[in-house]
Amino acid sequence: MSKRHAPVILRSVANGDRDCLRGWYRTDREGLEQFFGVDLPSEDDYIAQFNRLFEKMQAYTARMLMAELKGEPIGFVMVTDVPPTLEFGRVHIYLTPKKRRYAVRVGEAGMAEVEKMGIHMVFQNVLADNPASIKLGKKLGFVPSPIMTMIKELR
């Protein structure tokens, strides 16, 4: 007999999530910096990052959903860079440090939501030195791209 897990629920972000999101910054700034791919030296910078995301959501090029387990917010799933054709999107998953063991369940719920959105293909950016994210991506069906990303820092 298999053990039934409590379902991960994805829901829209609400005004009441502000304190939760701020608390995550205070307890996991490093994880959120890695998630967003930018330095977030202050809570104001963190809020500004979310404001940019919300602008994208209003333009229908991004979507953010809070992930809950047993009524408790444990992270969020974002889909960004979505063109009007819905050909592709970039998926991002953030979980609080104590809830990262639920990554596969949150990822599966996120992928189901992406399919409901009608997106045809999703991309995931993962740092090469983050084996946990690479393993999660593979569990969710992501495969390495034949295209290598090259960068040049201009500052």
Rounded to two decimals, the pTM is 0.86
Is 1 within a domain? no
Is 124 within a domain? yes
Which of 14, 12, 109 has the alpha carbon at shortest distance from 62? Answer: 12
Is 149 within a domain? no
**Is there a contact between 82 and 62 (Cβ–Cβ < 8 Å)?**
yes
Is 153 within a domain? no
Question: Rounded to 5 degrees, what are φ and ψ at 19?
Answer: -65, -40
**Is there a contact between 74 and 23 (Cβ–Cβ < 8 Å)?**
no
Rounded distance between C-alpha atoms, residue 122 and residue 90, angstroms: 5
**Is there a contact between 95 and 103 (Cβ–Cβ < 8 Å)?**
yes
Is 147 within a domain? no
DSSP letter string over 69-83? ETTEEEEEEEEE---
Is 3 within a domain? no
Task: Look up the CATH number of the domain holding residue 31.
Answer: 3.40.630.30
| Residue 4, pLDDT score | 81
Per-residue pLDDT of the chain (155 residues), as tens digits, is: 567 888 999 999 998 999 999 999 999 999 999 889 899 999 999 999 999 999 999 999 999 999 999 999 999 999 999 999 999 999 999 999 999 999 999 999 999 999 999 999 999 988 888 898 899 999 999 998 888 888 888 98
Residue 68's domain comprises: 8-139
Q: What is the CA radius of gyration of the chain?
A: 16
What domain count does the chain have?
Answer: 1
Instruction: State the amino acid at position 52 in one-letter form.
Output: R
